[in-house]
């Protein structure tokens, strides 16, 4: 069965998730799918979108709808950008480039993670669309500066600073599955990998991926940079407002700050001259007990007060979720897991399928709600019992 046929068999992001789960060893799938501790925040990100309702308008001509919009100072095919997602090639070789190309072909921004398994330069060559580089705050400041300089040289239009990872969240699924990157083989995970022979054979033939942009950082005695429950080992918990201001002063292009939940932080970022704020709780993978991002969004939007665009990520699985975020005041959403599931399930056709599903659902939801353009999506569509 071809990758295109596999992708075409999916009619929702949940279908792509199921295809990914079927293909991957349990440890790898749960690394992507799981969250921190009891996964309260992970689940609440999804439930917040389910709790919210849209109050449709009737008798409007919706024979044609337009999903295009401005997103962080540039054009986008819909109010969506690809969130930075690490370790993708452990799910399928070439997944980073597959998603970047799908994003460029559709016309939405793509964010490359510091912990990606493809280099900054390879993404820029393979998918010359709207590119943002997401920088974790490494304790090795020379390495961090070098990564940012490489992104600038490769013409990335935006630098995304993630501020919600001073230390790593406690991801208990990874402990139970004996998962760390690079792999440290144990009887438990070797048996897990053996249960998925096609995935295992692919890893043997093409080689085990590396975190290409940070592979030379100090390695653990267990074998290297970990992105399981010990994520954050190489990150700087002392990073503060003064250091962020220095970054603002030194980076002349778009500067996006991701991982904002508190309204007071949003107000200060707006006064600092940040170009965009992303309301994010790291997909429920950090502080378990933080609110759902959709619930935190209105407070951040009020604090930003129109001075800076606000985006939101976490829990986006349907096109109507994009509408709901817009109605609450977000300029757009970021999604990581949706395209991750697509690429892992079926390579670039799968990543394209994920974006096509979201765009189709968004268009359909707009028609059924009586709105023709993204600008018409506003608070009047919110249903408040």
pLDDT of residue 228: 41
pLDDT value of position 222: 42
Quote the pLDDT of residue 183.
80
Task: Please give the Cα distance from 96 to 66 (Å, whole number).
Answer: 28
Question: Structural domain of residue 169, as residue ranges?
Answer: 3-383
Contact between 43 and 50 under an 8 Å Cβ cutoff? The reply is no
The answer to whether 225 touches 214, Cβ cutoff 8 Å, is yes
Whole-number pLDDT of residue 365: 98
Per the model's pLDDT, the better-predicted residue between 317 and 229 turns out to be: 317
Task: State the catalytic residue, choosing from 93, 152, 178, 282.
Answer: 282
Split into its structural domains, the chain has a count of: 1
Average pLDDT (48-74) is 97
**pLDDT for 223:** 37
pLDDT for residue 219 is more than 80: no
Per-residue pLDDT tens over the stretch 84-126: 999 999 999 999 999 999 999 999 999 999 999 999 999 999 9
**Can you spell out the DSSP letters for 204-269?**
HHH-----TTTTTSPPPTTSS---STTTTTTB-TT--HHHHHHHHHH--SEEEEEEE--HHHHHHH
- Is a pLDDT exceeding 70 seen at residue 300? yes
Whether the pLDDT of residue 230 is over 80: the answer is no
In this prediction, residues 226-237 reach a mean pLDDT of: 63
- In this model, does residue 64 exceed pLDDT 90? yes
Q: Does the predicted model carry a pTM greater than 0.85?
A: yes
Q: Is the pLDDT of residue 227 over 80?
A: no
The enclosing domain of 138 has a CATH number of 3.20.20.70
> Comparing 165 with 157, which gets the higher pLDDT?
157
Whether 282 is a known active-site residue: answer yes
In this predicted structure, the answer to whether residue 158 has a pLDDT above a threshold of 60 is: yes
In this predicted structure, the answer to whether residue 229 has a pLDDT above a threshold of 60 is no
CA distances to 10, 81, 95, 146, 276 from 307, rounded to whole Å, are 40, 20, 36, 31, 9
Average pLDDT score over residue span 141-152: 96
The pLDDT of 25-42, averaged and rounded, is 95
pLDDT digit string, tens, across residues 318-337 = 999 999 999 999 999 999 99
């Amino acid at each position: 069965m071809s990758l295109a046929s596999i992708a075409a068999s999916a009619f929702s992001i949940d279908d792509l998730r199921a295809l990914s789960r079927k293909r991957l060893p349990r440890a790898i799938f749960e690394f992507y799918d799981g969250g921190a501790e009891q996964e309260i925040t992970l689940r609440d990100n999804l439930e917040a979108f389910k709790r919210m309702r849209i109050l449709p308008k009737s008798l409007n001509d919706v024979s044609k709808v337009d999903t295009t919009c401005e997103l962080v100072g540039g054009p986008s095919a819909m109010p969506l950008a690809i969130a930075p997602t690490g370790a993708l090639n452990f799910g399928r070789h070439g997944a980073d480039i597959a998603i970047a190309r799908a994003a460029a072909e559709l016309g939405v921004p793509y964010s490359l993670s510091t912990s990606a398994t493809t280099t900054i330069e390879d993404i820029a060559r393979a998918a010359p669309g709207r590119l943002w580089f997401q920088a974790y705050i490494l304790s090795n400041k020379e390495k961090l500066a070098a990564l940012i300089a490489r992104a600038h040289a490769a013409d990335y239009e935006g630098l995304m600073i993630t501020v919600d990872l001073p230390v790593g969240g406690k991801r208990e699924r990874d402990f139970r599955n004996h998962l760390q990157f690079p792999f440290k083989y144990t009887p438990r995970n070797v048996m897990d990998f053996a249960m998925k022979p096609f995935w295992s054979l692919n890893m043997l033939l093409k080689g085990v991926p590396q975190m290409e942009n940070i592979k030379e950082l100090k390695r653990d005695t267990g074998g290297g940079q970990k992105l399981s429950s010990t994520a954050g080992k190489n990150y700087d918990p002392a990073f503060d407002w003064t250091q962020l201001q220095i970054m603002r002063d030194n980076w002349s292009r778009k500067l996006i700050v991701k991982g904002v939940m508190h309204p007071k932080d949003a107000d200060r970022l707006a006064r600092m001259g940040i170009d965009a704020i992303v309301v994010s709780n790291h997909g429920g993978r950090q502080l378990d007990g933080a609110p759902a991002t959709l619930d935190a969004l209105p407070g951040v939007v009020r604090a930003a007060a129109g001075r800076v665009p606000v985006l939101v990520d976490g829990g986006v699985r349907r096109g109507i979720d994009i509408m709901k975020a817009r109605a609450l005041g977000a300029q757009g959403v970021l999604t990581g897991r949706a395209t991750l599931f697509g690429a892992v399930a079926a390579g670039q056709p799968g990543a394209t399928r994920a974006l096509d599903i979201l765009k189709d659902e968004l268009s359909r939801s707009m028609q059924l709600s009586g709105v023709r353009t993204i600008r018409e999506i506003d608070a009047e569509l919110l249903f408040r019992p």
